[in-house]
Structure 1
Amino acid sequence: MTPTSTAPQTVLGLETSCDETAAAVVRRHADGRAEVLSSVVGSQIAAHAPFGGVVPEIAARAHVESIEAIAEAALKEAGLGYGDLTGVAATAGPGLVGGVMVGLSFGKAVALARDLPLVAVNHLEGHAVSARLGADLPYPFLLLLVSGGHCQLLEVAGIGACRRLGSTIDDAAGEAFDKIAKAMGLPYPGGPELERLAEGGDPTAFELPRMLLGRKDCDFSFSGLKTAAARLAEGVTHEADRRNLAAAVQEAIAGQLAEKSERAMKAYAQAHADAGLRFVVAGGVAANRTVRARLEAVAQKNGFSFAAPPMAYCTDNAAMIALAGAERLAAGISDPLDAVARPRWPLDAAAAAAAPTHKAGRKGAKA
């Protein structure tokens, strides 16, 4: 979508979709350049660590207790007050709906009290624009969104214009990392711990299944890998074997991401060669060095430039939510104060309706 306003947008962003309470202030300049004035993230890792994963009720209560202080800290760090804002953006989904409601309700209160426009942001759209926080990255581009709850390949033509090329049919890559790490007895959050354990390991020491070999589409599957690795972990006790298993898991996940991304690149290149070939990786798994290196190599092989958000904006943060809100405001888009919190909210609604990756009643990654 082409922006209709050239006025700078200074937006407070709020992110509470999982276990981080985050607030940020981002200024989008008239030329489209994004300037992060502040970014504050309150982590709940200590609260969830005893349970080995995120407990939704604990997360929601923690958001309630900290959202006001986090927002005020972001404004203070930016050297601004509420009166200096031109809008407020809050994650409205997808995510743990109790937490989403906290951030969205706080955003509505700010918008109402200060007579500011509200933007109810799709969390996935925040990830989609996150690489634009650190680079001059024009639309369109091919995006691999890969995190704890999401794994999708998307054609991003602009704000509000995403077309799904592929998605996970069961677990997300980050979920596989975390659950395999838990099976190996690694502390929460498991993904970064598994990456550390994999250093120096031999990825060929264990044979793990390759999923969807007979399919020629761009969909992903990590459930079988997760189950196989968890079973192997039960019999692995020596430290060298644990390192090898961690390395094998990391290589298997990176390999599937690279294989499906390359397939999407070939299809994307046929339609967009004249617009420039740009490949973007966003989401928490984009911080994994092995995954990033494999994807960068695939991009180079297929003639794509490679971009990823700065490490601080790979995992959940409010700067990406603020930027998505600012770009929508620049395009003349805002939302009413009765905007609802959504546990599920596909970026490509048409594709989700025509070819849902998850059937009603089935569990799986946020779709």
Structure 2
Amino acid sequence: MSKILGIDTSNYTTSAALLDTDTMSVIQSKQLLPVKPGEKGVRQSEAVFHHTKQLPDVIGKLMGQGRCIPDGIGVSVKPRLEEGSYMPCFLVGEGFADSLGSVIGVLPDKSSHQIGHILAAIYSSGRFDLIKDKKSFAAFHVSGGTTDLLYCEPDDDNILKISRIGGSDDLKAGQAIDRCGVMLGLKFPCGQELERLAENSSSSFKIKPSVRGLDCSLSGLENKCRDMIDKGCPKEDTAKFCISYVLESIKAMTKAFYEKYSEKTVIYAGGVMSNSMIRSALEAEQRVFCEGEFSRDNACGVAVYSAIKRGLIL
């Protein structure tokens, strides 16, 4: 029986996971970074501070559920596996993984937050055939920090070679949702609260997203939501409009991908894709979704990464 520890210290959540490679079951422990009321996130210096405080407790709760010395450690050390990709918050997880690895004699397997999201989606959806059979596919990584359309190819060194082929170059979908939520008086991060609010709206909207091919612009969405609030529109309608606008943008980019590429498998990952309204509208044959807990920030994907690298699965 092999157990793999996963660690992810993103700009939103302190996450740890323990993967049992025999049963392919995962237990998780997470804690959101604290954000002051009315603010739209935390500075990197604050993120590092909070992760440093929270990670021992998160790991302690996790190992209390399944006490063991891990056979492998997977950790995200940067946002993406590309030159210049860097965020200080990931240093906390990397440092912990290096220290623990030195004590137990295990060299950590280091990957990116982005690959972790995609592998978590593959784990949750049961689509390991994409990795095992070395298939190419597309993945949307839609969160507070990214709105990317990614082309994923098999790679012996990193499991996946990821190329960005589209997405938003201005405001990210998660940013738009959080900013709208904060304007509505919701607690950051606002995704789940905004979704609950939107579910109470019976309004429908005719939305023409700003999409050109595989790229979209979301910079105008914040202003549109602010205008609705200033005009006294019901909070529920503003919330639904915001989510609907993001949905229509992703639908249009998905359609453009199908028209341009022969690969027909599309994976949706990242915190925004845990939204049930977006998921129900997009879910169709060969479109891969995962459970919400594996779509939001988590450490399952980097645990899976380590297990694959060590030849313990697949």
TM above 0.5, one fold? yes
1:15 pairs, out of 8, 11, 35, with: 8
Equivalent in the alignment of 1:187? 187
Aligned alpha-carbon RMSD (Å): 2.3
Q: Aligned runs of 1:95-134 on 2, under 5 Å?
A: 97-134=87-124
Residue pair 2:38, 2:182 contacting (<8 A) in 1 also:
no
Residue pair 1:26, 1:319 contacting (<8 A) in 2 also:
yes
Q: Aligned runs of 1:246-265 on 2, under 5 Å?
A: 246-265=239-258
Unaligned runs of at least 5 residues, structure 1 = 1-7, 332-367
Q: What SS class does the counterpart of residue 37 from structure 2 fall into?
A: helix
* Inter-partner Cα distance in structure 1 for 2:310 and 2:300: 15
What residue identity is the alignment partner of 1:43? L
* Inter-partner Cα distance in structure 2 for 1:132 and 1:77: 24
2:76 pairs, out of 61, 70, 91, with: 91
Equivalent in the alignment of 1:320? 301
In structure 2, relative to structure 1, the CA distance for the partners of 1:165 and 1:96 (3 Å cut) is closer
Shift of 1:258: 0.8
Equivalent in the alignment of 1:147? 143
Equivalent in the alignment of 1:163? 163
1:121-169: CA deviation from partner (whole Å, max 9, x where unpaired): 2000001111222233021332111111111122223322223221211
* Inter-partner Cα distance in structure 1 for 2:98 and 2:15: 16
* Inter-partner Cα distance in structure 2 for 1:209 and 1:52: 30
* Inter-partner Cα distance in structure 2 for 1:266 and 1:221: 20
Residue pair 1:130, 1:320 contacting (<8 A) in 2 also:
yes
In structure 2, relative to structure 1, the CA distance for the partners of 1:135 and 1:289 (3 Å cut) is closer
Residue pair 2:153, 2:162 contacting (<8 A) in 1 also:
yes
Question: If the length of structure 1 is used for normalisation, what is the TM-score?
Answer: 0.74
* Inter-partner Cα distance in structure 1 for 2:25 and 2:183: 38
1:266 and 2:259 equivalent? yes
In structure 2, relative to structure 1, the CA distance for the partners of 1:203 and 1:169 (3 Å cut) is farther
Q: Aligned runs of 1:174-213 on 2, under 5 Å?
A: 174-204=174-204, 210-212=209-211
* Inter-partner Cα distance in structure 1 for 2:30 and 2:310: 24
In structure 2, relative to structure 1, the CA distance for the partners of 1:144 and 1:74 (3 Å cut) is same
What residue identity is the alignment partner of 1:295? L
Question: If the length of structure 2 is used for normalisation, what is the TM-score?
Answer: 0.85
Shift of 1:180: 1.3
1:225 pairs, out of 221, 226, 231, with: 221
Q: What SS class does the counterpart of residue 185 from structure 1 fall into?
A: coil
* Inter-partner Cα distance in structure 2 for 1:210 and 1:134: 30
Shift of 1:262: 1.6
Residue pair 1:28, 1:35 contacting (<8 A) in 2 also:
yes
Residue pair 1:129, 1:323 contacting (<8 A) in 2 also:
yes
Residue pair 1:93, 1:122 contacting (<8 A) in 2 also:
yes
Residue pair 1:209, 1:225 contacting (<8 A) in 2 also:
no
Equivalent in the alignment of 1:69? 57
Residue pair 1:134, 1:309 contacting (<8 A) in 2 also:
yes
What residue identity is the alignment partner of 2:103? A
Fraction of identical pairs, as percent: 23
Equivalent in the alignment of 1:136? 126
1:147-204: CA deviation from partner (whole Å, max 9, x where unpaired): 1111112222332222322121112111111111112222322222221221242444
The structure with the larger Rg is: 1
What residue identity is the alignment partner of 1:292? R
Shift of 1:322: 1.1
Shift of 1:98: 3.3
* Inter-partner Cα distance in structure 2 for 1:117 and 1:142: 31
Residue pair 2:209, 2:248 contacting (<8 A) in 1 also:
no
Residue pair 1:218, 1:264 contacting (<8 A) in 2 also:
yes
The alignment of Structure 1 onto Structure 2 pairs a total of residues equal to: 296
What residue identity is the alignment partner of 1:314? S
2:46 pairs, out of 34, 53, 58, with: 58
* Inter-partner Cα distance in structure 2 for 1:54 and 1:316: 15
* Inter-partner Cα distance in structure 2 for 1:10 and 1:74: 12
Residue pair 1:93, 1:121 contacting (<8 A) in 2 also:
yes
* Inter-partner Cα distance in structure 2 for 1:78 and 1:131: 23
What residue identity is the alignment partner of 2:72? G
Q: What SS class does the counterpart of residue 144 from structure 2 fall into?
A: coil
Residue pair 1:184, 1:234 contacting (<8 A) in 2 also:
no
